[in-house]
Amino acid sequence: MSRILLVAATATEAAPVEAALDRVGPRGPRLDSYRGHSHDIDILTTGIGMVATAAWCSRALAQQPYDLALNVGVCGSFDPGLDLGRVVHVVSDRIVELGAEDGDEFLTFDALELPVEATCVNSAPPVSPTIAALPAVRGITVNTVHGNERSIASVVRRFTPQVESMEGAAFMYACAVHSIPFAQVRAVSNIVARRDRASWKMAEAIAALGQTTLEIISDL
């Protein structure tokens, strides 16, 4: 039996998985225990954003040994080849706001030759046929989601991302620090563009995310 840490930013993103598992009880702040598919599964709801995600993930990973961790959530897509509702495996993620401004130019820490690892790459995800079958994509993590044509064009030109979230890189860094196998799995809820919630497919994305997450848990 494996012990799995399942991390979601919001209760909505975790709800389909929670509904399919047997609840054991609370383990601590924002952390509840479940059982299912012959695993002990702790579900951590961090709240939105990279700071909350990094802090709560590090706290959970320091207090309890886990065999692996999964980050599940929704994302926006820059890639027109990713249909709304599609579930993807984010294999690399970058905090794109790490850098410095020089007039109208944005300088990455790589360009500044500063010792900061802005990109996290998952070179050894958990062995799962379901994960292996998902599109492997490049992600970025942001404090402000993109909704301006100029800023979207700029970030695409500089980093060629396929998806964006507000938590992914923070989760990946926390897992890397604690040397735990991990995977970041997300469902596309919207195209990254000027905000038009009427065009989003949030319910469809969360349903697909829940189904895929349960399949991954069953694989392990």
Domains, the chain, ordered by start: 3-219 (3.40.50.1580)
98 band by pLDDT with thresholds 50, 70 and 90: confident
Q: Where are the beta strands (DSSP E) in 46-197?
A: 68-77, 87-95, 99-102, 105-108, 119-121, 136-141, 163-165, 182-191
Phi, psi dihedral angles at 47 (to 5 degrees): 90, 165
CA 155 – CA 162 distance, rounded (Å): 11
Whole-Å CA distances, 217 to 2, 14, 43, 92, 220: 10, 13, 13, 21, 5
- The pTM of the full predicted model, rounded to 2 decimals, is 0.94
Where helices occur in the chain by DSSP H, the ranges are: 11-20, 50-63, 109-112, 129-133, 149-159, 168-177, 202-219
Find the range with the poorest average confidence among 30-34, 44-48, 118-122: 118-122
Tokens of 182: 């991990």
Average pLDDT over the chain, rounded to an integer? 94
CA 201 – CA 212 distance, rounded (Å): 16
Stretch 68-90: mean pLDDT? 97
CA 22 – CA 59 distance, rounded (Å): 24
Q: What digits encode the pLDDT tens for the residues 34-73?
A: 999 999 999 999 999 999 999 999 999 999 999 999 999 9
Q: What digits encode the pLDDT tens for the residues 128-166?
A: 999 999 999 999 999 999 999 999 999 999 999 999 999
Phi, psi dihedral angles at 31 (to 5 degrees): -130, 125
CA 190 – CA 50 distance, rounded (Å): 20
Secondary element (H or E) of residue 7: strand 3-8
213 band by pLDDT with thresholds 50, 70 and 90: very high
Over 70: is that where the pLDDT of 116 sits? no
Q: Which residues contact 54 (CB under 8 A, 6 or more apart)?
A: 170, 171, 173, 174
Q: Do the beta carbons of residue 205 and residue 191 sit within 8 Å? A: no
